[in-house]
Amino acid sequence: MSFDVPADAYTRFMGRFSEPLAVQFADLAQVRAGQRALDVGCGPGALTAELVRRLGNEAVSAIDPSAPFVQAVRSRLPGVDVWSGPAEHLPFADDTFDVTLAQLVVHFMADPVSGLSEMARVTRPGGVVAASVWDSAGVGGPLDTFWRAVRDLDRDALDESQLSGAREGDLAELFAAAGLKDLEHTSLTVTVAFPSFTDWWEPFTFGVGPAGAYVARLDQVQRDLLRSRCEQLLPPAPFEIAASAWCVLAHP
Ligand SMILES: C[S@@+](CC[C@H](N)C(=O)[O-])C[C@H]1O[C@@H](n2cnc3c(N)ncnc32)[C@H](O)[C@@H]1O
């Protein structure tokens, strides 16, 4: 899978967007001291670290199917209860958590409705279940320029716009299908600065996620063409990229 990569590769590729998003996402879910929280699809721990900062290690659990990411969170945040596995089969009893969050994960679940149902099951009545997914179907995702360049060169390429939850309203529909009611939906935006084009491009060559997997399939000539097209489309360095994520929150 495209998340079976070293934690450092993920952090350089997507962590630079997901770390600032984690602060806003935890604010949105009103995570506060005294609560017990679960981070579903924790990756190398961008949101887990923010939960630990607010709640302490002992009050946080995290789970992800990627072995290197699980190992990274265990080393980085000792004392956190870290599990290996998918959202669709959470190894926790009913009503265990006050807050259950999935940041940038629902679109990668094999069965998003089942994953969200599981998140609701392990959250106590009146608690919070929330998820966020990049706006990859509009013009607000962090990888928009990359996929635009790909489509310019390869009209048949499959980008991330078809993933579950990417279109406006999609995520709320998935929550409703999972039986969650009284939904609040909004979007959050983060802005990331890139000192040079190389800083932006290099992490695409690390094989992370669908974009990294796409680059890994190219030969050197195709890769150089894509790199040049991206450079043409981006503003001159230094530049900033703003990225928006759809967010939905429910109280089971
Ligand atoms: C884009 S990363 C997000 C990681 C982290 N939440 C963050 O904000 O940086 C997507 C994560 O979802 C995980 N994932 C993929 N399928 C999953 C599933 N069925 N259940 C839970 N997590 C899954 C991947 O292993 C990866 O760590």
How many residues are given for the chain? Answer: 252
**pLDDT for 54-74, tens place per residue?**
999 999 999 999 999 999 999
pLDDT at 165: 85
pLDDT at 46: 98
pLDDT averaged over every residue in the chain: 96
Helix (H, G, I), strand (E, B) or coil at 249: strand
Please tell me the residue having the least CA distance from ligand 1 atom 15.
Answer: 108
* Helix, strand, coil tally for the chain in percent (to 5): 45, 20, 35
Low-confidence winner among 59-68, 121-130, 153-162, 220-229 (lowest mean pLDDT)? 153-162
Nearest to 174 by CA among 84, 246, 245, 92: 246
Rounded Cα distance between 101 and 72, Å, is 19
**Buried b vs exposed e over 40-61: b needs ≥16 C-beta within 10 Å?**
bbbbbbbbbbbbbebbeeebbb
pLDDT at 2: 82
Rounded Cα distance between 65 and 20, Å, is 23
**pLDDT for 10-43, tens place per residue?**
999 999 999 999 999 999 999 999 999 999 999 9
E strands present in 146-238: 184-194
pLDDT at 164: 86
**pLDDT for 166-194, tens place per residue?**
888 999 999 999 999 999 999 999 999 99
**pLDDT for 193-231, tens place per residue?**
999 999 999 999 999 999 999 999 999 999 999 999 999
Predicted model pTM: 0.97
Distances in whole angstroms, Cα of residue 104 to Cα of each of 44, 51, 107, 111, 176: 13, 16, 7, 15, 18
1 has pLDDT over 60 = no
Q: For residue 22, which atom of ligand 1 is closest to its CA?
A: 8
The residue among 163 and 238 whose pLDDT is bigger is 238
Rounded Cα distance between 3 and 68, Å, is 9
Q: For residue 109, which atom of ligand 1 is closest to its CA?
A: 19
Please tell me the residue having the least CA distance from ligand 1 atom 1.
Answer: 104
Nearest to 27 by CA among 50, 52, 58, 48: 50
**pLDDT for 92-118, tens place per residue?**
999 999 999 999 999 999 999 999 999
pLDDT at 138: 79
**Cβ of 135 less than 6 Å from ligand 1:** no
Q: For residue 66, which atom of ligand 1 is closest to its CA?
A: 25
Mean pLDDT to the nearest integer, 141-162: 93
